[in-house]
Structure 1
Amino acid sequence: MSELRVRVLNEDEWPKYREIRLRALRESPEAFVASAEEEEAFDEDVWQARMERSRRILAESEEDVVGVVSIGAGHRTTIPGAGELFGLWVDPPRRGTGVARKLMEEAARVGRDEGLRQLLYWVGTDNGRAVAFASSFGFRPTDDRRPMRIHGVDEEDAESEEMMMVYPLGDHGGVPTSL
């Protein structure tokens, strides 16, 4: 297996982010609230604005992008000192090979560098693999739940539920703050 490189995209690399985001939406529609059809219609300025408000982290193997995750420093949460981790996706042949862990490690580093105290991660309650992975990384479940509508599954949209998981970034003794 070739060497894995994980890096934060620059804002001018929005076309690369767009490409991997749409690939993820097409490959795993059940894992996302958005649909590829919706996001394909976005203008360039929407993609550029997305790059300005969140960090986009890629995992690359040689010339291939094999994973992505995003971290938003507070724009999607009202919890002080928290950033939200979202959009985690790994190319199916690379799942279970450490790509997701490397993406999460880089996201945690970025969060610490930006002064965040914790990362929030909304995970589908019926996605056992994602819940197990987040738990193994150190995320802990909370009682916070929200409905999740999944587009592109079967003929009609499906209803599901997400739970918020929390990962402390600083020296908080393993206890999430501000919950």
Structure 2
Amino acid sequence: MTATPFTVLRLGAEDAANFRELRLDGLRRHPEAFGASYEDEARQSPQDFRPRLESGTVFGIRRKSRSDLDGIAGLYIPETIKTRHKGVLWGMYVRPEARCMGLGSALVARVIEHSTNLVEELTLAVGAANEHAMNLYARVGFNCYGFEERALKIEGRYYDEVLMRLVLVK
């Protein structure tokens, strides 16, 4: 059996600078893929990112030959009684040079594994033009349940999103 060429880890406050750097890279390269904006998050220091990692669940992945993160994915679980049965996979991003190596699949699998005893289903929103990401989510069992036209507006242009979910408990 061959060793996995990457490591998936839960990020903590000590990873704030690396998380910030990779998140900003994603926001800069693919603004249509995120609800957050590069401009807003670039104003925040690495220290400002620490609470997100301390109170939330964010996973990172790195190739074993590197010390920097190659990918990230978060899990948000609402605290309200009526919605805490649904988790949200958010902020999924893999560096372009690390794509097609199985890192995205490993990140999504880790979020699903972590979610299994915490929520009944996972939801996500993905850019309607991002067929690669939609195919990744479909391969692990996510199904489309909605379509939001004009979900994001960036520099006067609208972007649609596909809403997907994975039912964990039937």
The percent of aligned pairs where both chains have the same amino acid is 24
Equivalent AA in structure 2 for residue 120 of structure 1: T
When residues 16 and 64 of structure 1 are mapped into structure 2, their CA distance, relative to the original with a 3 A threshold, is closer
Distance in 1 (CA, whole Å) between partners of 2:46 and 2:108 is 27
CA RMSD across the alignment: 2.4
Given the two structures, how large is their TM-score scaled by the length of structure 2? 0.84
Deviations 1:118-176 (A, max 9, x none): 1101112222222122111110000353632254xxxx242112121001223x2xxxx
List gaps (5 residues or longer) in structure 1: 173-179
In structure 1, the residue corresponding to 2:116 is in which secondary structure? Answer: helix
The answer to whether residue 170 in structure 2 is matched with residue 168 in structure 1 is: no
Question: SS of 1:7's equivalent?
Answer: strand
* Pair 1:27–1:82, CA change in 2 (3 A): same
Q: Is 1:137–2:136 an aligned residue pair?
A: no
Runs of 5+ in structure 2 lacking a partner? Answer: none
Show the counterpart of 2:35. 33
Judge conservation of contact 2:19–2:69 (CA < 8 Å) in 1.
no
Contact 2:32 2:152 in 1 (8 A): no
Using the alignment, how far apart are the partners of 1:146 and 1:12 within structure 2? 38
Q: Out of 7, 22, 25, which is 2:24 matched to?
A: 22
Provide TM-score, normalisation by structure 1. 0.80
Indicate the SS of the match to 1:86.
strand
Contact 1:125 1:161 in 2 (8 A): yes
- Contact 1:83/1:116, CA 8 A, preserved across alignment: yes
The Cα of 1:85 is off from its aligned counterpart by 0.3
